[in-house]
Amino acid sequence: MRKSFIMLFALLLSFVTACSDQSVWHGKDRGGSEKSKPDPMLSFKAATSIEGMLKEGPGKYAEEIEPTGYTPTLPDSVRAKLRTFSPKLNASEAYNRLIYLLAQDYQPIAKKIDQYDSRIPLSSQRKSAPKSVIKSPVHVNIALVIDASSVQQKKVNSEQTRFDTIKQKIKEAIHDVLNSGTNGLEYSISIHTYGGKVDKDTSFIKIAGAAPGQSDDSMQELTSALDGVKLGGASKLSDALSQVQIEFNQKNSPNDVNQVFVVSSSLDAIDDQALTKTKELLYSEGQAQVSTLSYDSKDNKLKEKLDDIAFAGLGESREVDKDSGFNFKDQSTGIGDDFGLFETNDLYSYTWAEIMKNRKRNQLLKLDPKFNFEYEILTAAAEELKISQSEKDLLLQKITNRRDRLKDYLQGKLETLIPEK
């Protein structure tokens, strides 16, 4: 009997032990509460190869740090984390932790470099045009491609929707173009929408300032097209860009400067084919550059998508809020910023091949490889640590070496793509 009791007790004890082990396996202690997981920062090892450095970002706090002058300001969340670092850390341990927290995301620029189309966009007419063929007046043809998806129904105040404010800003931007003087340029504008139930397309309308006391018929036509849009539908951005391409292929003389402005507030109607269509527009007979305006949106994914479209279209990407204007004039000529064209007689000294080559060069030079910004962040964080001065000196050297290696690699790749003047 005693022997049977001992065996029963042993069996019961083994069952309780198994249950206890199982609770630990599922991350619970004996009281049923969640066990704390180890901080992944403590086991992270920073990459030593360039390929690894390009892939290990973004760090946990990288997106919280914004440029504020030459030296980035570390947010309180980062400072609080740095205060948890042991003063006994050596340089390698501190370096691994800083990279885990603060490494920049190099994937977007690496992708742009790898997928970069180094061809110089040049239509057949422009390719064969002599220098002297560009004469005044130059025709600046602007296609506005506007997001008419349901997100534009959002009220911005008691009386206006987001789409109402977009229409108002378009009219103000057009008036700014006319009132600031055209300087020998002739502007024509067409309206296209996407993502709406009834998308509106107008042919190019030549705009000119109305005499005092007279109505501006061109503005009325553009406004009427916008007022007829019914928001929320299934059409995509690529559909609108296809229609724009058909229009621009009829405007391909050396005196035509063709520009597209995509105004968007959401990803809803931006399909994957939009990027392909953008490239087709740039290399088509119409040779239109595509710029993008992100309006009243804090969506980082939208910004990234519009940045990619503008980069593929050799244009500019800007964010516009409710308090700022669209300002088409600064971007609309496309070639003016590169040479001061339309301001001097230099207009007649360049071929389109030279103009577009310089445009591509400037686009690449504007890319921010981020290594200097990351260097400033890591250096500022290193200075906050309470580790020994000898280890801190070694840590700063590691950060400098990282910056130099990334700089040599990324700038070397860019220089192989940048056309020579």
Q: Is the peptide bond before 130 cis (omega within 30 degrees of 0)?
A: no
Q: What does pLDDT average to over the chain?
A: 79
Q: In sequence order, which residues have a C-beta less than 8 Å from that of residue 296 and are 6 or more positions away?
A: 156, 162, 165, 265, 320, 321, 322
What is the span of the domain harbouring residue 404? 40-106+369-417
- Looking at the structure, tell me whether residues 297 and 400 fall in a common domain: no
Residue ending a domain, choose from 323, 349, 365: 365
Q: In sequence order, which residues have a C-beta less than 8 Å from that of residue 123 and are 6 or more positions away?
A: 252, 284, 285, 286, 287
**pLDDT for 103:** 96
Mean of pLDDT values over 168-183: 72
Is the pLDDT at 387 greater than 70? The verdict is yes
Q: Is the peptide bond before 121 cis (omega within 30 degrees of 0)?
A: no
Compute and round to an integer the Cα radius of gyration of the chain: 29
Tell me the C-alpha distance between 1 and 170, whole Å. 96
Lowest-confidence range among 65-69, 220-224, 251-255? 65-69
- Looking at the structure, tell me whether residues 102 and 186 fall in a common domain: no
| Secondary structure tally for the chain: helices H, strands E | 16, 8
> What's the whole-model pTM score?
0.76
Confidence of residue 70 (pLDDT cuts 50, 70, 90): low
CA 121 to chain centre: 22
The CATH number of the domain holding residue 173 is: 3.40.50.410
Could you tell me which of 352, 309, 349, 308 has the C-alpha nearest to residue 334? 352
**pLDDT for 411:** 87
Mean of pLDDT values over 317-337: 61
Tokens read off for 102 = 């603060």
Residue 120, domain member (yes or no): no
Helix ranges, 119-161 (H): 124-127
- Looking at the structure, tell me whether residues 224 and 346 fall in a common domain: yes
- Looking at the structure, tell me whether residues 234 and 382 fall in a common domain: no
Mean of pLDDT values over 293-302: 86
> Look-up: residue for tokens 């202690």?
29
- Looking at the structure, tell me whether residues 75 and 144 fall in a common domain: no
Residue 22, domain member (yes or no): no
Confidence of residue 390 (pLDDT cuts 50, 70, 90): very high
Confidence of residue 230 (pLDDT cuts 50, 70, 90): confident
Number of domains in the chain: 2
Could you tell me which of 3, 25, 58, 90 has the C-alpha nearest to residue 388? 90
Residue 328, domain member (yes or no): yes
**pLDDT for 328:** 60
Residue 119, domain member (yes or no): no
Residue 250, domain member (yes or no): yes
Residue 270 or 335, more confident: 270
**pLDDT for 76:** 92
- Looking at the structure, tell me whether residues 195 and 318 fall in a common domain: yes
Sign of torsion, CA 95 98 100 102? negative
Q: For residue 211, give the DSSP letter.
A: P
Give the best-scoring range by mean pLDDT among 24-38, 297-311, 349-363: 297-311
**pLDDT for 297:** 84
**pLDDT for 349:** 63
Residue 53 or 343, more confident: 53
Residue 26, domain member (yes or no): no
Q: Would you mind telling me the total number of residues written for the chain in this entry?
A: 421
Is the pLDDT at 262 greater than 90? The verdict is yes
Share of the chain above pLDDT 90, in %: 33
Is the pLDDT at 153 greater than 70? The verdict is yes
Residue ending a domain, choose from 365, 381, 408: 365
Helix 91-102 with 389-417: angle, nearest 10 deg = 50
Mean of pLDDT values over 248-266: 87
Is the pLDDT at 3 greater than 60? The verdict is no
**pLDDT for 342:** 36
